[in-house]
Amino acid sequence: MAMNISKAYTLVLVLLFFTILPSISGANAGLGASFIFGDSLVDAGNNNYLQTLSKANLKPNGIDFKASGGSPTGRYTNGRTIGDLVGEELGQPNYALPFLDPNATGKAILNGVNYASGGGGIMNQTGRIFVNRLSMDIQIDYFNITRKQLDKLLGPSKAVEYLRKKSIFSITVGSNDFLNNYLLPVLSIGERISESPEAFINGLITNFRSQLTRLYALDARKFVIGNVGPIGCIPYQKTINQLNEDQCVDLANKLARQYNGRLKDLIKELNDNLPGSTFVLADVYVLVSEVITNYRKYGFVTASRACCGNGGQFAGIIPCGPQSSLCTDHNKHVFWDPYHPSEAANLIITKQLVDGDTRYITPMNLRQLRDL
């Protein structure tokens, strides 16, 4: 009798182990899907399919992107974007394909989809200078198409679960609303001639609130929102304003900080008012500022000059292309071109977003968000 009790006890333990094991392993499982929205900082090739002046499908862009054998893919950097790197770190098996890529269909969308577009912004008029680009409103329209495809692939109830529990929605947007809208010369098509900074930023926040709430209504629950970086320190701004190496454009950075303060309040508001949602704020401004200020500590030789570009002291006027001057060591420059970080800088930023503390990302980092 004692032996039977012992065997029964052992059997119960074995059953308990195999019952608990899936939930333990599931806590560390890879990211289900990554849905990426935003601008050229995370565009993975959508603009390749648009008639636009904003393109990165020319060499030497992508020269260090191993997945393409060093060929340009439409990414505005020498290698991987932050979106690519975050997906890798969180265990995503494949990069999220651009929505406009003909291959972004069927089961491929279960890895997620990238809707980001070079020149795109929160406001629909942002980036008009490039002729065509996908604004945030259009990007969410496209996600709505993906949302219906997921219902067909998984069935409605499983699609809801997949989106709410296993997917992360990352949004990196806002820089173009200043650089290619508000800060354009007054005689051009910028908004400065008719709006105060406060009024313009109010409009940004109002639109962005509506856009994020719309994504929530489409079953997005885990969000990471990047604020606007120190746009006054990019090679383009430093070049056109004829600054010294250690200077940044005060107005551009002041506008970014002003917007970022309002964005922080918006994130708190959404966390409080949208049940079941988790909005994480990535402080890109602080992160990038730290890399620029302490660039030598991170192994860079310059945080001012573009690796690939032409024009002025910092090669900061003409975008990267076949005729551009190209630095010898792409990993030694914070900036790949007049606007965008190099893959080496993206790696540093990604590490802090995925595993960093609340100095850079709050209320939790992306690994914690994935496992939530």
Determine the 3-state secondary structure of 14 from DSSP.
helix
What class is the 35-284 domain?
A: alpha beta
The catalytic position among 43, 54, 304, 340 is 340
**Non-local CB neighbours of 170 within 8 Å, separated by 6+ positions:** 34, 35, 36, 37, 38, 42, 83, 86, 223, 224, 225, 226
**3-class secondary structure, 370:** helix
- Give the DSSP letter of residue 304: S
Residues 48, 61 contacting (CB under 8 angstroms): no
Q: Is the pTM of this model over 0.75?
A: yes
Distance CA 83, CA 76 (A): 12
Cβ neighbourhood burial of 194 (10 Å; 0-12, 13-18, 19+)? exposed
Provide the pLDDT for residue 212: 98
Active site residue 340: yes
CA-to-CA distance for 162 and 210, rounded, in angstroms?
23
The active-site residue, picked from 40, 135, 304, 324, is 40
**Residues near 239 by Cβ (< 8 Å), separated by ≥ 6?**
311, 312, 313, 314, 315, 316, 317, 338
Q: Are 89 and 348 in contact (CB under 8 A)?
A: no
pLDDT in the model for residue 153: 97
The one-digit pLDDT tens for each residue of the chain (372 residues) are 444 544 444 443 434 444 333 333 333 457 889 999 999 999 999 999 999 999 999 999 999 999 999 999 999 999 999 999 999 999 999 999 999 999 999 999 999 999 999 999 999 999 999 999 999 999 999 999 999 999 999 999 999 999 999 999 999 999 999 999 999 875 455 566 678 999 999 999 999 999 999 999 999 999 999 999 999 999 999 999 999 999 999 999 999 999 999 999 999 999 999 999 999 999 999 999 999 999 999 999 999 999 999 999 999 999 999 999 999 999 999 999 999 999 999 999 999 999 999 999 999 999 999 999
User: Cβ distance 107 to 153 under 8 Å?
Assistant: yes
337 is catalytic: yes
Catalytic residue among 175, 304, 337, 342: 337
